[in-house]
């Protein structure tokens, strides 16, 4: 009896959550819709964007930029449907979009390797698709607009190589286990530094989290004191966490390198914390994404797909002002 009650509540709770999820999606579509409605969009192509998780800074930025980019086109209408970082949800969302007759699906994949077969299947059945920002190259006929994670690692690693001694002592902070971005960025560092005598004192998984980066750094400072020359972090948040720990221990000579290049990094570089980061530019990515989708839908693109690589941008104290201004203008930073 009690179990029945509990399961009923479980179902209710799940319904509530799904309703909340749908609500989010609808809201996105309203946004996109209201943006488009002035243009009059009867018979416009229906395009769905499936981000990983709208509560993540990059995903929500990309969604904003895509919405803006799609406003330039009268014959395309964008709907955003969130997956809250649950792979199963994203796969269900794809199913729904195909059965609802969307003409094009832009996917910001949670796990590209797991989704490749499904994507290939839908393309086969006649719904063209695009992987945006992350792509393992597993689907030949899917369009792809990405900033290569390996290149992101490379530009920072090359800058870091100029900044630190050949036999520097470094500590390394990694993203979640198995994460493609983290693995590729780490590989780029490996390749750039392969001829140097870099000494990796510590290396741990910080799960992209600022608090973890901070905690590891506190412990490492205990063990190695002022011997640490640089922190090589596979994202900015963990590097900035490590900076907080170093600040607290009054160590000023350590260099910090991240990747991502979002508002937090720009602020930190401006304040003299972070030394360098690399940006995958969501604005460029969104414009390219909208262009490719449009060309495929109108038949201008005969093949039905296109693979685009976005150049990555190195941000250091020299050019950070430009990004501070940009992030302030687009609302990611409030002054």
Partner 1 sequence: MKSKKIDIRKYSLILILAAMVVVCSLLSGNFLTATNLTNILKQVSIVTICAFAQGMIIITGEIDLSIGYLAGMAGSFACIVYVATQNLPLAFLVGVLLGAAVGVVNGLFVAYFNLPSFIVTLAMQTVCFGAICLYTGGQNIYKIGGFNVLGQSYVAGIIPITVVFMVIMLIITHVVLKYTKFGRYLYAIGGNTDAAVAAGIQVVKVKWFAFILSGVFAAIAGMVMMGRLNAGIPGEGQGYETDAITATVIGGTSFSGGAGTAFGTFLGSIIIGVLNNIMNLMGIDSYTQMIVKGFIIIGAVLVDSLSKRGKTGIKIMASSSDAKKSK
Q: Residue 253 and residue 321: Cα distance in Å, rounded? A: 23
Edge-to-edge strand list for the sheet holding 230-233: 199-205, 169-174, 230-233, 255-257
Distances (CA, A) of 8 to 3, 19, 20, 217: 8, 16, 18, 46
By CB under 8 A, tell whether 60 contacts partner 1.
yes
Q: Is 65 in the site for partner 1 (CB under 8 A)?
A: no
Give yes or no for residue 210 binding partner 1 (CB under 8 A). Answer: yes
* 244 sits near partner 1 (criterion: CB under 8 A): yes
Residue 202 contacts residue 169 (beta carbons within 8 Å):
no
What is the residue whose two structure tokens read 């900076």?
A: 243
- Give whichever of 249 and 308 is closer to partner 1, judged by the CB atom: 249
Instruction: Report, in Å, the least distance between residue 74 CB and partner 1.
Output: 26
CA–CA distance from 74 to each of 68, 157, 265 (Å)?
12, 42, 36
DSSP assignment of 301-325 equals SSSS--EEEPPPEEE-TTTHHHHHH
Whole-angstrom distance, CA of residue 12 vs CA of residue 9? 5
Q: Which of 241, 258, 261, 289 binds partner 1 (CB under 8 A)?
A: 241
The CB-of-214 to partner 1 minimum distance in angstroms stands at 7
Q: Which stretch binds partner 1 (CB under 8 A): 4-12, 38-46, 72-80, 298-306?
A: 4-12
Q: Which stretch binds partner 1 (CB under 8 A): 87-95, 110-118, 188-196, 261-269?
A: 261-269
| 202 forms part of the interface with partner 1 (CB under 8 A) | yes
Smallest distance from the beta carbon of 247 to partner 1, in angstroms?
A: 8
- Which residues would be at the binding site for partner 1 (CB under 8 A)? 5-6, 9-10, 12-13, 16-17, 20, 24, 54-57, 59-61, 64, 177, 202-205, 209-211, 214-216, 218-220, 222-223, 237, 240-241, 244, 248-249, 263-264, 267, 331-334
């Amino acid at each position: 009896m009690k179990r029945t009650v509990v399961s009923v509540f479980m179902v209710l709770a799940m319904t509530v959550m799904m309703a909340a999820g749908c609500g989010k999606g609808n809201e996105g579509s309203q946004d996109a819709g209201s943006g488009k409605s002035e243009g009059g969009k009867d018979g416009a192509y229906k395009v769905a964007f499936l981000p990983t998780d709208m509560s993540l800074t990059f995903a929500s930025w990309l969604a904003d930029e895509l919405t803006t980019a799609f406003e330039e086109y009268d014959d395309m209408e964008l709907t955003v449907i969130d997956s809250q970082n649950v792979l199963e949800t994203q796969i269900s969302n794809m199913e729904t979009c195909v059965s609802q007759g969307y003409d094009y699906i832009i996917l910001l994949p949670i796990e590209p390797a797991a989704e490749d077969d499904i994507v290939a299947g839908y393309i086969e059945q006649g719904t063209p698709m695009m992987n945006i920002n992350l792509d393992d190259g597993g689907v030949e006929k899917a369009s792809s607009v990405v900033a290569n994670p390996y290149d992101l690692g490379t530009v920072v690693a090359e800058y870091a190589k100029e900044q630190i001694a050949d036999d520097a002592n470094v500590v390394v902070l990694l993203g979640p286990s198995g994460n493609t971005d983290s693995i590729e960025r780490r590989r780029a560092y490996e390749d750039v530094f392969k001829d140097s005598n870099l000494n990796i004192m510590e290396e741990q998984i910080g799960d992209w989290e600022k608090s973890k980066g901070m905690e590891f750094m506190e412990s490492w400072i205990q063990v190695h004191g002022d011997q640490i020359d640089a922190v090589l972090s596979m994202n900015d948040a963990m590097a900035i966490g490590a900076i907080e720990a170093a600040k607290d221990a009054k160590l000023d000579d350590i260099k910090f390198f991240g990747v991502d290049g979002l508002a937090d990094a720009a602020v930190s570089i401006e304040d003299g914390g972070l030394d360098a980061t690399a940006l995958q530019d969501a604005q460029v990515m969104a414009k390219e994404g909208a262009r490719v989708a449009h060309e495929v839908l109108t038949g201008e693109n005969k093949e039905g797909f296109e693979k685009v690589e976005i150049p990555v941008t190195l941000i250091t104290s020299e050019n950070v002002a430009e990004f501070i201004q940009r992030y302030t203008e687009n609302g990611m930073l409030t002054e």
